[in-house]
Structure 1
Amino acid sequence: MKVRFKKVAILLTILSVCGGTLMFADAASQKVRVIVNGSELDEGGIIVDGKTYLPLRQVVNSLNALVDWDNTNKKATINKPNVHMILFQDKVIFGNVDKGNKYTFNVFSQIDNLKTSISAVKVSITDPYGTEKVIQSQNVSISKDNFWYRTEDIKYNFEYAGKYAVRFYLKTSPTDDWAVVSEKLITSQ
């Protein structure tokens, strides 16, 4: 009986220490909902000791920016280039289309305030149901703070009513993932 009492006492002590630690950790940090431009991020932030910590990659993606992670120095560098896209049908600028019609157009993009080197660019269009078509993708070697990029003509059928997203992507290195740095919407009615 004495051995059993000691085991129960030890077990209760361990559980109370663990439980107390878990309750203290939960009380020391608070969850934070993060909303960027009206959309809530999948992962929220937390407040620990009066400081707010946010999921960097999700915040950067929501802001259409680039993030470079330097693991050696434990440093994240965020770059937000200005990207202006203009859609041309022949020499006419457009933004709205008639549903069911096929249009031939190209995308002209002006990029400035670029603070990092770029290894590739991509322009795509995504229909209201999420199907993406790449308009043009190209490896480049750009290390200046501004450049212009114009796609070849594309013939595209706007078969559904709704919003079509034209997106401009950059890669900082060939091994990086594509990062959306600009989006323009075309309304099809």
Structure 2
Amino acid sequence: MKVPRLLTLALSLSLFGAAGAYANSLWGEYEGFAKAKLMVNNEEKTFGEADTPAFLVKGSAVLPVRVLSESLQALVKWDDAKKTVSIQKPNVHMFVAKKVDNDYSIKQPFGVVKKGDRLDFAVFAQVDNLQTPIYSFQISIYSPEGEQVATHEKVVNGQRESFWYPWPFNVTFNESGKYVVKFSIKQDESSAYTVVSEKVIGSE
């Protein structure tokens, strides 16, 4: 279920670490309040006309929960009956290696490849602190241009607080730059995937 459009989270400006907001009249107004510019890991977050933007109330920044949570790779869910928003941040660590044995030992890990190489390798995901039921998870690989070059989906449909999961891939690294491996979670069958971890493979 989607979080209502006006559901927001108030944070003091002094508490910002990776995320920051800057208020200035040049950003305009939202329903009588000064808008704030939202930056997450040095990337500006933009809002459509139908979206609730970041804005200021009595010196504190009010931020859309879903935008902030998903930008920080956390899961967010709205319980309409209880009028409660839940944010979960599972620990997901990924490794890429040319081989993962049956005992989950990793052989020949790598992080850089030669442009043009075609490799058989495994993506190994270690997940813990997953404190909410999920429908499925997905491991996808994207080219430097943002094209999905490989993907694998696993339906779980239940509670799995911690697990290890290796999966083989065969990818040709045709471009120079950063290939991104993304681990995403779908909380229920009708929801969209949320990226909760990323791993970069450099192609030179």
TM range (shorter): 0.7 to 0.9
Letter of the aligned partner of 2:186 in structure 1? K
Equivalent position of 1:30 in the other structure: 34
CA distance in 2, matches of 1:147, 1:141: 14
1:28 deviation in Å?
A: 4.8
Residue 139 of structure 1, CA deviation: 0.6
Structure 2: state its 5+ residue gaps.
1-28, 48-52, 100-106
Distance 2:62 2:74 in 1: 18
Q: CA RMSD in A?
A: 1.7
Structure 1 residues 28, 50: closer, same or farther in 2, change over 3 A?
farther
**1:160-171 superposed matches below 5 A:** 160-171=175-186
Query: Of the candidates 147, 152, 156, which is equivalent to residue 163 of structure 2?
Result: 147
The answer to whether structure 1 residue 64 and structure 2 residue 68 are counterparts is: no
State the 1:146 CA deviation.
Answer: 1.1
Q: Which string of whole-angstrom CA distances, capped at 9 and with x for unpartnered residues, describes residues 157-178 of structure 1? A: 0000000000001111111110
Q: Which has the higher helix share?
A: 1
Bigger fraction of residues in strand: 2
| Larger CA Rg, structure 1 vs 2 | 1
Query: Is 1:87 aligned with 2:96?
Result: yes
The answer for the alignment partner of 1:175 in structure 2 is 190
1:16 aligns with: none
> How high is the sequence identity, in percent, across the aligned residues?
37
Check if 1:73 corresponds to 2:64. no
- Give yes or no for the alignment of 1:40 onto 2:49: no
Question: How many aligned residue pairs are there?
Answer: 164
Shift of 1:182: 0.3
> 1:8 matched to which residue of 2?
none
Three-state SS of the structure 1 residue aligned to 2:35 is: strand
User: In structure 1, what is the Cα distance between the partners aligned to 2:189 and 2:31?
Assistant: 43
Provide Cα deviations, 1:17-76, integer angstroms capped at 9, x if missing partner: xxxxxxxx8695111111111111113410124442112221111111111111222221
TM-score, normalised with respect to structure 1: 0.81
Aligned position for 1:108: 124
Q: Distance in 2 between matches of 1:68 and 1:26?
A: 25
* Worse overlay, 141-150 or 177-186: 141-150
**C-alpha separation in 1, matches of 2:143 and 2:157:** 30
TM-score, scaled relative to structure 2? 0.75
Distance of 1:69 and 1:133 partners within structure 2? 32
For the 8 Å contact 1:108–1:150, the answer to whether it is kept is: yes
Where has structure 1 moved over 4 Å in runs of 4 or more? 25-28
TM-superposed CA distance for 1:144, in Å, is 3.4
Note the C-alpha offset of 1:137.
0.5
For the 8 Å contact 1:28–1:49, the answer to whether it is kept is no
